Structure 1
Amino acid sequence: MNNIELLKSSMINIVENKYSFKNNGLFQTDIPNLDFYFSSEPTEFNAIIYEPSLCIILQGSKAVGFGEELYSYDYSKYLLSSTHVPAKVKILEASEEVPYASLRIKFELEDIYDVIKNIDTNKLAMNVKSEKGLFFDDLTEKLYEPVSRLIKLIDKTKEEMDYLAPLIIKEILFILINDKSGYFLNKFAMEGTVSNKIVHAITEIKENFNEKLNVKELARLIDMSESSLYQNFKTITSMSPIQFQKKIRLEEAKLMLLNQNVEASEVAFAVGYESPSQFSREYSRMFGMSPKAHAIYLREEVS
């Protein structure tokens, strides 16, 4: 057994003892930037939005659909998301005996910039083009080691977590930036790059998702032409700005239906739709069932 396998085995034991893989779903740890996801069976494709994060599979495998492309990865690779990126995910390998288990380490672009400003970025391969907001690469022992130390903190005191977790996450970002993913992270974090401008556009849409989107005004805000905004936005997210806003609205609607006892029409207006019937049609198209039926299904899933 090599060092990576030893580290992975140790990580699995810590996580399983703390949370038990038999409990399916998302589990937030006491470290705000770290959470886990478990499943004892394969799933169909589900629509999600990746946040800026590093995602690692401990057991099992997953398929990720981005635009027209489909990727698969397991414990030998990692996924890096630079911004809020819509995707479809499907757990491929999972069982009662060997459940699917993965971790996510979230970060802010400011965290990346804080690391980048202290290294020589001339060695990072850069080009002026934007590219998709997801990046896959092989996991190395050098990256696994600090990730393992971060996981071990879940058994430590709050004082140790609060002090050491940010330092370890900064170390993880340092390793990523000095590896193949460095150019990828640099383009999204550095002010003035095309990719960074699109990140600002994404943030603007997310923060004002329930307001009517004026693409011309959005392009002016980030200092780009409308055509350039559209082209680069689609490259990074696989969607147009309007499609992305619709995705955000429907995801927010799903959370409201799950967590609040409200009518579908009320949710429709709250997320920015002028017509409840249009909301219901688009919701059903995205999630495969009506808002009311989906709300019942979601509550049964978490009960």
Structure 2
Amino acid sequence: MSLFRTTTPTQPLGGIARANLALVLRGAKRSSLGEQVYDYRAGQFLIVTVDLPLTSQITEASPRHPFVALGMPLQPEIVSALMLESDGTARRIASEREQPGLAVSDADDDLLGAIERLLRLADRPLDYRLLAPGVKREIHWRLLSGPQGGLVRQFGLPDSRLSLVGKAVGWLRANLDAPLRADDLAARLGLSVSSLNRYFRAITGMSPLQYQKALRLQQARLELLAAPGDIARVGHAVGYQSLSQFSREYRRMFGAPPSEDAARLQTAELGAE
């Protein structure tokens, strides 16, 4: 579990969001997946059930009213256990309608109460060690039985479409600089190429090839923030053999060539400090 606080809005910055519950306690935030935009504010949460290349920014924050948010990783094994132990209504698996692997919802009093109890345990190590697992289990249950229960159920099923896409994403992340052959990736999952593309696009909003490109460029942007002058090395490290192609696709995604974008981000960071 993590807490984040800032007194100033931030520039859009990309990264790979893991399976996670992100609850805004104060202020507002915006996350984008491709062309799809998710705005959420105090009392709302973003739930992510598969690794996704999101671009996020804090949109409302000030010294008087800082942005505050909580993040907690989701655990598929807890969801699976709850599904097995619950009654017939909660065990019922929703039809695998094709839906994105993330969603925004209002947090109800039951979910907020469980999160508050978990936060109160943080200052008491022994209590936390003994009691936190039960409270985390309750948080997963509130999500499973809440408005995004269908998405959470798919997260807990090892053979669901969501889980298959998650395995494909895991391979892409582990082989960031490797060429993508859709037929090989589909064969790894026991799928046809058409099924792989359909599931992948429904859950991530993009094809496997588009996802790989977004993944590479997001990683390159993070590395260039630390080493803005090493463009050729960074491009090669994320799988680009052509520097001109890397610069062209980078500019298309972020609106500026790599060197200019890295300098802009560094200036923004210094200004925030």
TM-score range, shorter chain: 0.7 to 0.9
Q: Secondary structure at the match of 1:155?
A: coil
Unaligned 5+ segments in structure 1 are 1-33
Which amino acid in the other structure matches residue 138 of structure 1? D
CA distance in 2, matches of 1:162, 1:281: 50
Question: CA, structure 1 residues 150+71, in 2 after alignment: closer, same or farther (shift >3 Å)?
Answer: same
**TM-score when normalising by structure 2:** 0.86
CA contact (8 A) 2:186 2:193 kept: yes
Aligned twin of 1:137: 105
Q: CA deviation at 1:291?
A: 2.7
| Superposition map of 1:59-70 within 5 A | 59-70=26-37
**TM-score when normalising by structure 1:** 0.78
Alignment counterpart, residue 147 of structure 1, candidates 112, 115, 136:
115
Between the two proteins, the alignment pairs up a number of residues equal to 269
| Superposition map of 1:53-202 within 5 A | 53-120=20-87, 122-123=89-90, 124=92, 126-157=94-125, 159-202=126-169
Question: CA, structure 1 residues 58+217, in 2 after alignment: closer, same or farther (shift >3 Å)?
Answer: same
CA contact (8 A) 2:229 2:259 kept: no
Pick which of 57-66 and 162-171 moved more: 162-171
Q: CA deviation at 1:166?
A: 3.7
Q: Secondary structure at the match of 2:85?
A: coil
Which amino acid in the other structure matches residue 153 of structure 1? L
Aligned twin of 1:281: 248
CA distance in 1, matches of 2:10, 2:154: 34
CA distance in 2, matches of 1:114, 1:272: 39
CA contact (8 A) 2:30 2:59 kept: yes
Q: Secondary structure at the match of 2:172?
A: helix
Identity of paired residues, percent? 30
Please tell me the root mean square deviation across aligned C-alpha atoms, in Å. Answer: 2.5
Which amino acid in the other structure matches residue 199 of structure 1? G
CA distance in 2, matches of 1:176, 1:237: 20
Matched, 1:210 2:177: yes
Question: CA, structure 1 residues 108+275, in 2 after alignment: closer, same or farther (shift >3 Å)?
Answer: farther
Q: Secondary structure at the match of 1:70?
A: strand
CA distance in 1, matches of 2:244, 2:88: 51
Pick which of 231-240 and 280-289 moved more: 280-289
Question: CA, structure 1 residues 232+258, in 2 after alignment: closer, same or farther (shift >3 Å)?
Answer: same
Pick which of 54-63 and 255-264 moved more: 255-264
